Amino acid sequence: MNTTTAADNVAVDADNSTSPLLVVEDIHTSFMVPGGEVKAVRGVSFELNQGKTLGVVGESGSGKTVLARSVMRLNLGNNVITSGSAKFRGSNILDLRPKAMQKLWGNEIAMVFQDPMTALNPLVKVGRQVTEHVRHHLGISKKEARSLAIDLLNEVRIPEPENRLDSYPHELSGGMRQRICIAIALACEPTLLFADEPTTALDVTVQHQILNLLNREQETREMGMVLVTHDLGVVAGRTDETMVMYAGNVVEKSSTKELFEDMQHPYTEALFRSIPKTSERSHTRLTAIAGRPPDLIAPPSGCSFSPRCPYVQQKCREEEPPLIPVNNGSHFSACWFPVGTEENQEAFRKNVAAGLPQTLVIEETLTKSSEKEDGV
Amino acid sequence: MAGSGKAHLRPEDETLIRVEDLVVEYDIPGGDTVKAVSGISFDIKAGETLGLVGESGCGKSTTGKALIQLPKPSSGSVKHNLVELTGLSSEAMRRRRTDLQMIFQDPISSLNPLRKVEDIVAEPMKIWGPKDKSKQQEMVDNILDAVGIDPEQARGKLAHEFSGGQCQRISIARSLILDPEVLICDEPVSALDVSMQAQILNLLEDLKKKYHLTLVFIAHDLAVVKNISDKVAVMYLGKLCEVAQSDELYENPVHPYSKLLLDSCPEPDPTVVIDQTVSDDDELPSPINPPSGCRFRTRCPFATEICSTEEPQMEEIRPNHYVACHHPLT
């Protein structure tokens, strides 16, 4: 689409080509509920360049979806409090008036949701759903819209697009519905795409197809993409940068390659260790993360992962670690005792000696698996 | 695939569960029949964990339920300890089910929201357990303790006061209270976060040893299935494709469908090269009107004439590695 027009509408940054597409600074989002204030996102900052994919990974309740929805301004209701800024092409989305926001939604910024069944209107034919916002934003005729819809459906590899346009969502499989949702998101050629768990509801072969599709579209259209997922496997293969979230905070952020090569934060390490992998032998003992995610109404003092961390020290319980650069400066981690350091090893030994349960579990699993390896 | 045949079955007296030519079909409005499971055979030895893996709609859950005759299969045989279950009266089957227990995918909805945890877990004993209340209480406490729930704290609480992982522990406790032989786990971890998933998988391994259980583990996640299973059976559209020991199957998949599944599985390793060439739009055919011959042929890159005319039969392609395919990958 004509990106300059939309950009004109929204105060333009003088130098579009080099500045990041999206700059998010210190976003906080809370929900006021009868029990208190649920601090879902607690100060997240990131940048995204055109043509790049940022993976946001974490467990349920880590704030990854709320973060995406905050930037999209989709957290509705009068109990939501959002602060911070999200500059898209230089202008703060969070300050825009609803009218200006409408010009962005679906046009410049689009979103693909987790559940393709509930994301589509069950009473409206697919064709109209694909073109409704195109006609609104681009003001094209019904006929032009229909031929654009056919092109889009072809592009997302839906067979017999002419016939499909007259189908209702329930007549399509889950994978096909997600393709339709992607076609809708791509229709106005957005420059920024949020994909919130786009393949979680799908089978593994369909997931592979949909992720291939998203990657291809993102590359050819040079979109910036934020891929929210709980699956480290999806992040590993499909993103340039990864941000790991825990309890509303970013605990680690780095290029995806470096993140997997050189994990710094104990939570990232724990997450990685806890997943079964097809490359491991069957009956490999999994290193589960002890305990449960914290209560976001009253998060623990200090580091929010400290109650579950095998390396926890007194300092971690008292002082919240800042997200600071490690090594080359593009890798950030928020931990007083980063994985792989001498201090970290020392903390582990101390906790083993002190008999801290979450540390003993890890130690036991590690010894068992190394014994097994030696035995083979 | 999608083949039939029994070459992979072991001698009957060595197995705890033996399923032959299992067929489950449902009539649906409009006069059609959903062919959910179409003639599969497998067996399980005592103490073994069999993983059933496949995409949604392949019939893996239906197979799991058919083992406990919920509902009775349309045809075929299910034997437990050499006793034919399909011929049993419903009363005899009810007794038998104390040995064959099941846990389900959604741990929260499988617990009654209005009842206390101690009553949920004690329920099976009201019918089959000791009548002595204090004995019942003791058993409830023991089993809750074994699944990692503190009985003191949990006893009087309701399901909604627990997280998904804890609810799954409670439903495991309920399934084990009568000391069953076989535990059928239908996607027990797919609704859980990875940290909870690891805890439950470890717990199942521990309980299996402690209570000498035989597990049927049904899941769509290949890595999870490999981790817990001794043996894995790959299903597609109501048929079995491939059966082998799990390490063997994941290292040397010979059925094109098993290969496709494994290649689609996202590995948590950024250096793995992603196959961008896979067919982009192939879809599972309808189980109402499945393809002739090999059911996978419509999606198979190696399909030839014979695949549409002749159904492949199970054959031993490597020692203890069975596949039903006309063109196995060797």
Sketch the domain layout of chain B as residue ranges. Answer: 12-99+180-267+282-323, 116-177
A260 located within any domain? no
Nearest CA distance, A284 vs chain B (angstrom): 6
Domain count, chain A: 2
Site of tokens 């004109």: A8
Tell me which residue in B163, B250, B264 faces A208 most closely, judged by beta carbons. B264
> How far does CA B89 lie from the centroid of its chain?
25
CATH code of the domain containing A182: 3.40.50.300
Predicted confidence at residue B2, as pLDDT, reads 52
**Could you tell me if A185 and A288 lie in one domain?**
no
Contact yes or no for A212 and B274 at CB 8 A: yes
Q: Does residue B220 sit at the A interface (CB-CB below 8 Å)? A: yes
Range of the domain at A365: 278-327+336-375
Contact yes or no for A175 and B283 at CB 8 A: yes
Report the alpha-carbon distance of residue A179 to residue A95 in Å, rounded: 32
- A/B interface, count of CB pairs below 8 Å: 141
Q: What string of H, E and C letters represents the secondary structure of A28-96?
A: EEEEEECCEEEEEEEEEEEEECCCCEEEEECCCCCCHHHHHHHHCCCCCCCCEEEEEEEEECCEEHHHC
Contact yes or no for B268 and A212 at CB 8 A: no
Contact yes or no for A289 and B195 at CB 8 A: yes
* B230: chain A residues, CB-CB within 8 Å: 282-283
Tell me which residue in B250, B260, B270 faces A236 most closely, judged by beta carbons. B270
Residue B1 has pLDDT above 70, yes or no: no
A215 located within any domain? yes
A255 located within any domain? no
Nearest CA in chain A to B277: A212
Q: What DSSP designation does A10 have?
A: S
Q: Does residue B193 sit at the A interface (CB-CB below 8 Å)? A: yes
Task: Report the share of chain B in percent with pLDDT over 70.
Answer: 98
Nearest CA distance, B204 vs chain A (angstrom): 11
**Could you tell me if A222 and A288 lie in one domain?**
no
* A158: chain B residues, CB-CB within 8 Å: 281
Output the average pLDDT for chain A: 89
* Model confidence pLDDT, tens digit, residues B32-89: 999 999 999 999 999 999 999 998 889 999 999 999 998 899 999 999 999 999 999 9
A263 located within any domain? no
Tell me which residue in A175, A278, A292 faces B265 most closely, judged by beta carbons. A278
* Model confidence pLDDT, tens digit, residues B130-170: 889 999 999 999 999 999 999 999 999 999 999 889 999 99
**Could you tell me if A55 and A134 lie in one domain?**
yes
- Those residues whose C-beta lies under 8 Å from the C-beta of residue B127, and which sit 6 or more positions away, are none
A152 located within any domain? yes
The class level of CATH for B12-99+180-267+282-323 reads alpha beta
pTM: 0.90
Tell me which residue in A213, A235, A288 faces B198 most closely, judged by beta carbons. A288
Site of tokens 């130098």: A15
Decide: helix, strand or coil at residue A139.
coil
**Chain B (121-140) residues lying within 8 Å, Cβ to Cβ, of chain A:** none
Tokens (6 digits) for B68: 């406990």
Q: Stretch A184-200: mean pLDDT, rounded? A: 92
Output the average pLDDT for chain B: 92
A262 located within any domain? no
Contact yes or no for B266 and A209 at CB 8 A: no
**Could you tell me if A156 and A53 lie in one domain?**
yes
